[in-house]
Amino acid sequence: MEVKKSKWDRLFWTWKPASEREAGDSVVRNLLLHWFPAKVTKESLSFRYSFWLGTVSALLFGILAVTGVVLMFLYVPSVERAYPSVKDLEFTVSFGGFIRAVHRISAHLMVAVVFLHLVRVFWTGA
């Protein structure tokens, strides 16, 4: 016998499912919870299992977003001003060279980490 739920409870999980099936269905139907599995084993949380490559790629994406926004305000994308704006960024803006280097290195690392994450997902059948 299924209990009738309100619209609020159907939209957001009540965190007190009546059965395992209801818990799984709630995770699948909920936009906020569908990213996470209904059950998590202790082994899957270990560093050796996933090397946290998804977390590292998300962190690198955050770094790229923050440094990219800063660089967006300092770079001038025109034929005449592109090179001088990069030189100004490197030599006259405080920590400009550091921000540009962090952005560049993060971009290279993200390509490598996302590739390794893809290989790990295919290898483990996740």
pLDDT of residue 36: 66
60-64-67 Cα angle (round to 5): 135
pLDDT of residue 38: 64
Categorize the per-residue pLDDT at 26 as very low, low, confident or very high, splitting at 50, 70 and 90.
confident
Give CA separation, 126 vs 44, 62, 93, in Å: 10, 24, 45
Q: What is the pLDDT of residues 45-99, one digit of tens each?
A: 788 888 889 899 999 999 999 999 999 999 999 999 999 999 999 999 999 999 9
pLDDT of residue 48: 82
Q: Is 21 exposed, middle or buried (0-12, 13-18, 19+ CB in 10 A)?
A: exposed
Q: Which of 12-16, 31-35, 119-123 has the least mean pLDDT? A: 12-16
Give CA separation, 122 vs 21, 38, 42, 52, 110, in Å: 27, 21, 21, 15, 18
Largest CA distance in the chain: 72
Which pTM does this prediction carry?
0.69
CA 11 – CA 56 distance, rounded (Å):
31
